[in-house]
Structure 1
Amino acid sequence: MVSIPAGHPYVRSVSASSEVEVLGDPRPEGAPAGQWWPPVALDPHWIDAHAADADILHIHFGTESFTPERLQATIDAAHDAGWPVVFTVHDLVHPQLVDQDGYQRQLDVLVPGADALLTLTPGAAVEIARRWDRRAEVVAHPALLDTPPRAPRRARGDKAFRVGMHLKDLRSNIAAEQMVGALDAALDRLAAGGLDAVGEVRMHRRVRDTRVRDRVRELCRRSDRITLVEHDRLGDDDLAAALAALDACVLPYGYGTHSGWLELCWDLGVPVAAPSTGYYADQHAHPSVASFTAGAGGEALATTLGQLADSPGSTRAGTRARAEQLRQRHEQRVVDDLAVATAHAELYRRLLEKN
């Protein structure tokens, strides 16, 4: 099978069945080892030259560099080679882009042109059916951690409710100023209600918008409850440790569809406050994933955080409940991830038998 991309943790997990063999990512000319983008295999000439090497094309993400016409030609080449085409609709709105017109035109090629569609949540499947009259099979996001993490230690007597917000490099869908302002107001409301609530905002040193960075710095400087931490991009272990120390994480997204960050928080047992945009809250139907109305300000976020403050994922009452939650989630993830890989293998088998 050719997967776009192949060398990605999500793809490795969903294609983990022994029935599935995924070709490695061809390296783009001049790219360092390990870089798969822009995907070389998403090209009709490449497919023509490798028609005998695979039997299915599965497109996940990485299409941004190409025109809709190029994608149509790629799908046509795959069909000419006898390959069914699968498209997983991770994003109905692209989180890396401000102007969505080009990506929406890509979806108008990919969704109707694929032989089978997958997506991650029921809400996204409903939107796909409404917009394109296509059925998308819902297969949940797999785990992002291979082993169960340990619950973080907490100083005796420390009852603060620690709320984190990671702005990363201020990519396009990060509503940084709005969300930091809402967090500050929400923390004040929680404190006024008797909850010792503190915030930690993290941001990369290298960002895409220095004006927004400076505004975030000023908002955090003026806050009595938020600490700003600026750092280089964290490695996987350091990121997991930073998230695991939280009692709740606020997703600062102004738009989007699904979130791998939310999945990482789930694996770490950290409750998540997700904006009502997209289908973030659909990813896990559980009290530790709660939604707030994006743009409604601090009052809406305070209400959501108040609900999460007493979640088993909060470590304010000690780490025993978090540790038990981590154990249960890891055990369930093992079962669920096997089902996810099996669902992908079965889909490929059905398509090949039909083809």
Structure 2
Amino acid sequence: MPGAPPEQWWPPVAMTARWLSENAAEFDVLHVHFGLESFTADELRDGLDAAARAGRPVVFTVHDLDNPQIVDQDPYRALLDVIVPAADRLITLTPSAAAEIERRWGRPSVVLAHPTLLDEAADPGRVTDGETVRVGIHLRDLRPNIDAENAVRAAVHAARLLERSGPAVEIEVLLNENVRDDRTADRVVAAADGHAAVRVRRTPYLTDAEIEQWLGGLDLFVLPYRHGTHSGWVELCYDLGVRVAGTDVGHIRSQHPSDFRVVDLDDPRTVAAAVTWARDDSPSADEVVASRRAQRRDQRRAVRDAHARLYRDVIAGVQA
């Protein structure tokens, strides 16, 4: 948004009826990804009606069937009930999400995997010592779908279990300095309980490069979600050859099933088992990253081509 501070979220004006009407000559397709929660159902309907009056097709990529930014999902589901039936084409990231969309709204979706999040010029290095299993959890700014306290308690209990029987482990929990709930942040720090293998570290907002560097030093990344649909973290971990353990919510496990292990934060044994799995029978990190880099480069081209074809088809369909 022009004039907004760096990294500041701003409601997308391109979804408003006024902007769409005034700028119809400037675009051919309205492709919606995120930001629905910034509007009421009536405002969203007005925007879609404005696009239709202008003869501009709407493509909606259904990243989120549950919104990670909010607790009460009913208003968000009401927004989906507006846009999913109205969009000219739907895209989603996984076959299982497409099946849910078909079941709920009776509409097919084009399934296009999320392409790599790494810059083509980046050189993602991996730094692990080969003995201690390094585990990371990023609680970000404590957005509503992150089960922060439970994640840290599970990490502490898992570390204790592994002391008796398992590999040496170091678990680093990152937490933004600026959070949505300072009291919860204090409880998260206290939940580490002074265990030597579990460290909570407060940080400023990390850049993409800083996140990639941190993830590249891990063997396992833990995703402690209460609800959600898909995850960019899973995509980035796949690029970097880092295995993921996460709660079984949405369709996250469908993104890269071979690199994803389901855990139950109420059962620390599952977290301890995931730590052991993160190193069992795994090829060298460098081999994995090199192989995936070529695969993801090809995939990115394929996804771009698929979008171009879809845009051409949907424009032709509206103009027919």
TM-score (norm 1): 0.85
The 1:311/1:243 distance shift into structure 2, 3 A limit, reads farther
How far, CA to CA, are the matches of 1:101 and 1:52 in structure 2? 35
**Which residue of structure 1 aligns with residue 314 of structure 2?**
351
Shift in Å, 1:300? 1.9
Higher helix residue share: 2
The 1:200/1:134 distance shift into structure 2, 3 A limit, reads same
RMSD of aligned residue pairs (Cα, Å): 1.8
How far, CA to CA, are the matches of 1:67 and 1:300 in structure 2? 40
Q: Is the 8 A contact 1:43 1:74 kept in 2?
A: yes
**Which residue of structure 2 aligns with residue 108 of structure 1?**
81
**Which residue of structure 1 aligns with residue 146 of structure 2?**
174
Shift in Å, 1:35? 5.7
**Which residue of structure 1 aligns with residue 17 of structure 2?**
44
Name the amino acid aligned to 1:109: V
Question: What is the CA deviation profile of residues 247-292 of structure 1, one whole-angstrom value per residue up to 9, with x for unaligned ones?
Answer: 1100121111111111111111111112111111101132x22222
**Which residue of structure 2 aligns with residue 318 of structure 1?**
none
**Which residue of structure 1 aligns with residue 125 of structure 2?**
151
Matches within 5 A, 1:87-98: 87-98=60-71
Q: Is the 8 A contact 1:111 1:132 kept in 2?
A: yes
Does residue 31 of structure 2 align to residue 64 of structure 1? no
How far, CA to CA, are the matches of 1:34 and 1:233 in structure 2? 9
How far, CA to CA, are the matches of 1:46 and 1:187 in structure 2? 53
Stretches of structure 1 that go unaligned for 5 or more consecutive residues are 1-26, 314-320
The 1:227/1:111 distance shift into structure 2, 3 A limit, reads same
**Which residue of structure 1 aligns with residue 279 of structure 2?**
309
Shift in Å, 1:53? 1.8
**Which residue of 284, 303, 311 maps to 1:340?**
303
Q: Is the 8 A contact 1:148 1:326 kept in 2?
A: no
Question: What is the CA deviation profile of residues 121-158 of structure 1, one whole-angstrom value per residue up to 9, with x for unaligned ones?
Answer: 11111111111111111111111111353433445xx6
**Which residue of structure 2 aligns with residue 271 of structure 1?**
243
Matches within 5 A, 1:1-355: 27=1, 30-32=3-5, 37-146=10-119, 147-154=121-128, 159-286=131-258, 288-293=259-264, 295-310=265-280, 312=282, 321-355=284-318
How far, CA to CA, are the matches of 1:92 and 1:117 in structure 2? 13
Shift in Å, 1:188? 2.1
**Which residue of structure 2 aligns with residue 316 of structure 1?**
none
Q: Is the 8 A contact 1:51 1:81 kept in 2?
A: yes
Q: Is the 8 A contact 2:243 2:260 kept in 1?
A: yes
How far, CA to CA, are the matches of 2:17 and 2:128 in structure 1? 55
Shift in Å, 1:226? 0.2
- Secondary structure of residue in 1 paired with 2:214: helix
Q: Is the 8 A contact 1:190 1:197 kept in 2?
A: yes
TM-score (norm 2): 0.94
How far, CA to CA, are the matches of 1:230 and 1:35 in structure 2? 20
The 1:100/1:351 distance shift into structure 2, 3 A limit, reads same
The 1:32/1:163 distance shift into structure 2, 3 A limit, reads closer
How far, CA to CA, are the matches of 1:337 and 1:150 in structure 2? 17
How far, CA to CA, are the matches of 1:203 and 1:139 in structure 2? 32
How far, CA to CA, are the matches of 1:136 and 1:115 in structure 2? 11
Q: Is the 8 A contact 1:148 1:330 kept in 2?
A: no
Shift in Å, 1:189? 2.0
The 1:311/1:49 distance shift into structure 2, 3 A limit, reads farther
Name the amino acid aligned to 2:66: V
The 1:33/1:212 distance shift into structure 2, 3 A limit, reads closer
Q: Is the 8 A contact 2:244 2:260 kept in 1?
A: yes
Q: Is the 8 A contact 2:147 2:224 kept in 1?
A: yes
